[in-house]
Amino acid sequence: MVAHGTCTTCISAGVGGCTTVICDINKFDTNDNAIDGCEAECAIVNHGICTTCNSALVSGCTAISCDTNNFNINGNAADGCEIGCAALNHGTCTACDSAVSSGCTAITCDSNKFDTNGNAADGCEAGCVATNGICSTCNSAIASDCTSILSCDTNKFDANGNAGDGCEAECANVPDGTCIACNSAAASGCTSVTCNTHKFDSNNDASDGCEVGCVATNGICSTCDSATVSGCTSISSCDDNKYDTNNNPADGCESGCSATNSICCNTLIGSECKRFFIEHRVKLVGMKAIDFNQNSKLKVAFALSVAKLLKVSYELVTHVRACTVGALFSDCSFVKPRRSLGNLRILATDDSSDILYEVNSPTQEKSELLKNMVVGSPYQNSFEKEFKVYMVENNVDSDVISSIQSVQPDPIASPHITLISVEGQAHNSTDINSTPYDVDTTIGNDDSFLVIFVVFFVVASAVVAFCFKHQYNMFQNRLVLGGSLIFCVIVAVVLVTVFISAQATSLCNIETITNITNITNITNITNITNITNITKNNRNLCRPNSDHANMVAFIITLLTVAATAAGAFGCFWS
């Protein structure tokens, strides 16, 4: 018996006597030695086992059984199982049931690659991801598992050094614009900016944004095509007391307003404008109306007190005048300074008086606010104290101050709106024809002396007329002639004195007002020192109007009496 075959001829019965052998299936006597039987079998083939063959050579293989994950797709057993599992994206297929990609049933992914959908057939389809950048290493295919950022997108930055949140920072916000290019996440890193509508990067520095907007003269420009005044294309609103009357936004709100009462208004209605103001009164017990109206220092102190407590400009306190207690505003209206017997209608000999005044406001809302302040307890409780302080600072006589027994602000104030005519183009709202507080400095000053003067002048004229009528030869008498000449000279002196006094009073008013006008820019009256100093510095420029009027009237009266006596003496002594 021989290995893997049957000895068909032999020379002896032992193994060594076999001379011819017939081999088993898939076994072969390749060395032609029958003694060792059929020592060869089917050849070894790639990635499989040759199960049938017709020779011991590889080319003799006629059937094959492939190893796991290998396949004989060309049908040639001689070259074995030439194909393994298909190659897949970013991984190695470790198990498959065919040599095509769809046959892959298990996969091992490359570094930083992941089979996130559980389908081995499409390989490791996912890689590292990062927010606004490229993740170079990671533990999974989700952004939070990124462990290293390779690079950030344009205008994105990993400012906090945490790869898990990616490149979290972007170009910084800049004022009134959008930074569209930058080299860091700080505002200073901005290199290019797109401005918001009607905003401009006039200094060509993107890091500070669009720092300039529309501009207009004396107003607010709402739309424009450049940051210059001439680039304004639409005015949204004008400053108080300014108007765009020519409908040309490029020159802004070029016009102002000036009203007949020297109060500039803020709302034009054709050729008129609105004036907003409140009316209020303060009762002075122990102060006669005529005494108050004759004392300009008192009126200045009163106006300053109102301005300070209401925190408004001194020039907004207007139409200050003393009237009888309980007088209506309509019955005691403000009269511009002039000498007239009619002015006596607002005066009385009562020991008390009501001081009526007005406070102007640029808007109706502010007027309502002023009204509430006037009737509020701080104003009501503090007015007397402030008034006395300013009376002292304005050198009001101590006996006048002590005569005021009490100061009683009215608990009621009334807001008003009136239409007043506008005089023309823009000019200063302070009119030199009136003081900032618009007080009547001559009401009741010299009416009584004026009456006496008129009476004596009429009497003197009657005496002279009588002389001419009854003393036909009066000019032949030297005394008569002398008396008549004296009378004429005195009358001339009287006229000249009145003229000079009027001129001096006018110059006094103008000089004082010119100095006071310089304080019109004061908006917070709480620091009143400068105004007080101006008032003190001006007190020696001239006497108050009341002193001028009374002195002149007194001199006129004395001269008239002398003229009358001289004329009568010259007429009848002959």
pTM reported for the whole predicted model? 0.38
Q: What pLDDT does residue 467 have?
A: 58
Lowest average pLDDT, out of 101-115, 194-208, 463-477, 512-526, goes to 512-526
Quick: pLDDT tens for 284-294.
Answer: 999 999 999 99
Asked if 257 contacts 243 with a C-beta cutoff of 8 angstroms, the reply is yes
Residue 331 CA to residue 441 CA, distance in Å, equals 19
The confidence band for 274, taking pLDDT boundaries of 50, 70 and 90, is confident
* pLDDT surpasses 90 at 95: yes
Average pLDDT of the segment spanning 138-146: 94
Quick: pLDDT tens for 65-83.
Answer: 999 999 999 989 989 999 9
Asked if 40 contacts 3 with a C-beta cutoff of 8 angstroms, the reply is no
The confidence band for 246, taking pLDDT boundaries of 50, 70 and 90, is confident
Residue 290 CA to residue 321 CA, distance in Å, equals 10
Which of 203, 168, 208, 202 has its CA nearest to residue 188?
A: 208
Bridge partner list, 323? 354
* pLDDT surpasses 50 at 543: no
Site of tokens 């007329």? 465
Quick: pLDDT tens for 338-386.
Answer: 444 334 344 445 789 999 999 988 788 888 999 999 999 999 999 999 9
Q: What pLDDT does residue 470 have?
A: 54
The confidence band for 2, taking pLDDT boundaries of 50, 70 and 90, is confident
φ and ψ at residue 475, rounded to 5 degrees: -80, -5
Of all residues in the chain, the percent with pLDDT exceeding 70 is: 67
Domains along the chain? Answer: 91-127 (no CATH), 214-256 (no CATH), 270-421 (3.30.70), 447-572 (no CATH)
Average pLDDT of the segment spanning 111-135: 94
197 contact partners, CB below 8 Å, separation of at least 6: none
* pLDDT surpasses 90 at 231: yes
Of all residues in the chain, the percent with pLDDT exceeding 90 is: 51
Which of 78, 47, 85 has its CA nearest to residue 60?
A: 78
Average pLDDT of the segment spanning 249-270: 60
Which of 44, 27, 107 has its CA nearest to residue 81?
A: 44
Output the average pLDDT for the chain: 77
Please report, for the chain, how many H helices and E strands are present, in that order. Answer: 9, 30
* pLDDT surpasses 50 at 189: yes
Average pLDDT of the segment spanning 44-61: 92
Strands 104-109 and 61-66: unpaired
Residue 240 CA to residue 243 CA, distance in Å, equals 8
Asked if 107 contacts 93 with a C-beta cutoff of 8 angstroms, the reply is yes
Q: What pLDDT does residue 346 have?
A: 42
454 contact partners, CB below 8 Å, separation of at least 6: none
Cα torsion angle, 359, 363, 364, 366, sign: negative
